[in-house]
Amino acid sequence: MKNEGAPNRSTLPPAAPEASRPDGSIEAAKSSDTPHGESDPEHTASPAVENRERIDRLRKDIARIDQQILALVAWRLEVAEEIGHYKKRAGLPVRNFRAEVDVLERARATCAGLGIDPEIGRALLSILIEAAVGRQHGLTERSRRGAARSMLVLGGAGRMGTWLCNFFAAQGHSVTVHEQNNVHVEGFEHRADLEEAVQSADVIALATPIGETNTLLGRVLAMRPSGLVFDICSLKSPLIETLQAGARQGLRVASLHPMFAPDTVLLSGRVLLVCDCGNPTAAAEARSLFEDTALRLVDVPLGRHDRYMGYVLGLSHAINIAFASTLVESGLTAHDLDRVASTTFSKQVRTTREVAMENARLYYEVQHANAHTPDVLDHLLTAVLALREASLREGSEVFEALMETNRDYFSAP
Contacting residues for 345 by C-beta, under 8 A, at least 6 apart: 337
Residue 134 within any structural domain of the chain:
no
164 and 287 in a common domain: yes
275 and 343 in a common domain: no
User: In the chain, how many H helices and how many E strands?
Assistant: 16, 8
220 and 250 in a common domain: yes
Residue 32 within any structural domain of the chain:
yes
- Which residues form the domain of 328? 307-411
Q: What is the pLDDT of residue 382?
A: 98
Grade residue 232 by pLDDT with cuts at 50, 70 and 90.
very high
Q: What is the pLDDT of residues 326-362, one digit of tens each?
A: 999 999 999 999 999 999 999 999 999 999 999 899 9
Q: What is the pLDDT of residues 367-390, one digit of tens each?
A: 999 999 999 999 999 999 999 999
295 and 312 in a common domain: no
68 and 198 in a common domain: no
Question: What are the CA-CA distances from residue 18 to residues 29, 54, 142 (Å)?
Answer: 9, 15, 47
84 and 173 in a common domain: no
End-to-end CA distance of the chain: 54
Helices (H), 115-252: 118-137, 159-170, 194-199, 210-222, 240-248
Residue 174 within any structural domain of the chain:
yes
> How many angstroms from the chain centroid is the CA of residue 27?
41
Q: What is the pLDDT of residues 142-166, one digit of tens each?
A: 443 444 799 999 998 899 999 999 8
* Least-confidence region, from 171-185, 251-265, 312-326, 387-401: 171-185
Answer with the one of 300, 327, 360 that is the final residue of a domain: 300
295 and 322 in a common domain: no
Torsional sign, CA 308, 311, 316, 317: positive
Answer with the one of 90, 112, 140 that is the final residue of a domain: 90
205 and 281 in a common domain: yes
Answer with the one of 300, 315, 344 that is the final residue of a domain: 300
287 and 159 in a common domain: yes
Distance CA 49, CA 34 (A): 12
Residue 143 within any structural domain of the chain:
no
Q: Residue 186: pLDDT above 70?
A: yes
Whether 53 contacts 32, CB under 8 Å: no
Higher pLDDT, 48 or 236: 236
Residue 339 within any structural domain of the chain:
yes
Q: What is the pLDDT of residue 218?
A: 97
Residue 82 within any structural domain of the chain:
yes
Residue 124 within any structural domain of the chain:
no
Residue 262 within any structural domain of the chain:
yes
Classify each residue of 366-397 as buried b or exposed e, where b means 16 or more C-beta atoms within 10 Å of its C-beta. bbebbebbeebbeebeeeeeeeeebeeeeeee
Judged by DSSP in three states, 252 sits in coil
352 and 254 in a common domain: no
253 and 216 in a common domain: yes
Grade residue 95 by pLDDT with cuts at 50, 70 and 90.
confident
Tally of domains within the chain: 3
* Region label for 278, one of left (φ > 0), alpha (ψ between -120 and 50) or beta (otherwise): left
Q: What is the pLDDT of residue 27?
A: 44
Mean pLDDT of 195-209: 97
Contacting residues for 150 by C-beta, under 8 A, at least 6 apart: 173, 174, 176, 200, 201, 202, 203, 227
Q: pTM of the entire structure?
A: 0.73
278 and 341 in a common domain: no
CATH (domain of 273): 3.40.50.720
